Amino acid sequence: MIKSKQLGMTLVELLIVIAIMGILSLTFYFYTRPNLKKQVELSTEELLGNLRQVRSLAVNKATHKFANTSEAVFPPGGYGIVFDNTADQAKYFVYADKSFHSGGFQESQGDEIIGSVIYLPVPNNDTDEAFQISNSVNDDDYFYFSILGEKDVDTDMPYDSPENKRYVLRLRWPGTSTVHGYEAKIRLGEQTSDGSIIPNFGAAYAEYIKPRDGDGDREGEGGRDVLEP
């Protein structure tokens, strides 16, 4: 009597497949996550470098020649950075502020971008994994920080708390459904007792855990600070 050919998987075969998938998942975790953590740190260092450049331009009263003007001048609104996370790929840029106190970068009023627009990474071309940038208080995804001098800042960012009065943004890789993300909290400045804002930069890194439904953002353990005085 000829036996019919068995279709499908046995329990043992199914367990073997599950085990292999688990190994592949762990391999992906160990090989890609450190690289993405490094990308967060490199992106943060690049941003800190641009912030220091903006502070240097403002404090040293560097001049800028705006289009259709005869001579270079110190921008009336100083130099600033705009942070924009309104599209699939987050970006930021340095600008010279010709339109003082007009709400950040206003191209129609003569403000000019300095250098190149900097785009944050989109790992695996997956917008769900795209690096994000937002302020740390209300997760606003479009804001600016403009510096006119050592104790003179114009910004639409709220400070983090009445006790600290620090201006902080988040630069984050959000992770995946199975892998925790990683983020940097980047301090841009702090408010003094007389109401002035001092541009004072630094960063602290930590694991980022995606919130469950109904939860807010959760931070992981093991964060490390690299704050400058």
Q: What is the pLDDT of residues 131-182, one digit of tens each?
A: 999 998 888 899 999 999 999 999 999 999 888 899 999 999 998 888 889 9
Comparing 121 with 228, which gets the higher pLDDT?
121
110 belongs to a structural domain: no
State the pTM of this model.
0.78
How far is the C-alpha of 101 from the C-alpha of 154, rounded, in Å? 7
pLDDT exceeds cutoff 80 at 213: no
219 within domain boundaries? yes
C-alpha dist (Å) from residue 54 to 10, 59, 96, 111, 152: 65, 9, 9, 15, 13
Residue 85 falls within a domain, yes or no?
no
* 21 within a domain of the structure (yes/no): yes
Rounded to whole angstroms, how far apart are CA atoms 92 and 75?
19
Supply the pLDDT for residue 152.
93
Q: Reduced to 3 states, what is the DSSP secondary structure of residue 223? A: coil
| Count of domains forming the chain | 1
> 117 to each of 37, 56, 82, 152, 176, how far by Cα in Å?
22, 19, 10, 25, 27
At 115, which helix (H) or strand (E)?
Answer: strand 112-119
**53 within domain boundaries:** yes
User: 193: helix, coil or strand?
Assistant: coil
Quote the domain boundaries for residue 211: 11-59+122-225
Is residue 170 in a domain?
A: yes
Query: Which has the minimum average pLDDT: 36-40, 93-97, 118-122, 184-188?
Result: 36-40
Q: How does pLDDT run across 52-80, given as a tens digit for each residue?
A: 999 999 999 999 999 989 899 999 999 99
| Residue 42, pLDDT above cutoff 80 | yes
Average pLDDT score, the chain: 84
